[in-house]
């Protein structure tokens, strides 16, 4: 039962962020690459994936390229994180 709730919660997060929106305000940094006012999905070849979120939106980290695979973490506005299994980041 617990795994079903986890899957449904993850699917809800992904679908909630699939709605088109305007770009986030600020800078998203993936390793050495900085993106100003990001919007959408960004893949990276960095390992581990370092994410610094200086935007006004939550960044969602996925295990696969093009924001596919397992949701491995989130980085709140003003936060940062390092993800051993992170490959791409979605920001609304």
Per-residue pLDDT at 6: 47
What is the pTM assigned to this prediction? 0.75
Dihedral of CA atoms 81, 38, 58, 2 in degrees, nearest 10, equals: -90
CB atoms inside a 10 Å sphere around CB 63: 18
Per-residue pLDDT at 22: 79
Which mean pLDDT values do the consecutive 10-residue runs of the chain (92 residues) have? Answer: 51 51 90 97 96 99 98 98 98 96
- Residue 82 belongs to domain with CATH number: 2.60.20
Per-residue pLDDT at 12: 54
Dihedral of CA atoms 46, 47, 53, 55 in degrees, nearest 10, equals: 30
- For residue 34, the enclosing domain spans 2-91
Strand blocks (E) in 1-86: 26-30, 33-36, 40-43, 49-55, 59-62, 71-75, 80-83
């Amino acid at each position: 039962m617990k795994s079903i709730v986890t899957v449904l919660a993850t699917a809800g997060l992904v679908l909630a962020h699939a709605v088109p929106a305007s770009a986030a305000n600020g800078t998203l940094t993936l390793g050495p690459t900085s993106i100003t006012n990001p919007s959408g999905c960004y893949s990276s070849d960095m390992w581990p994936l370092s994410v610094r979120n200086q935007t006004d939106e939550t960044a969602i980290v996925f295990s696969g390229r093009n924001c596919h695979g397992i949701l491995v973490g989130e980085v709140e506005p003003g936060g940062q994180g390092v993800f051993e299994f992170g490959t791409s980041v979605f920001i609304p």
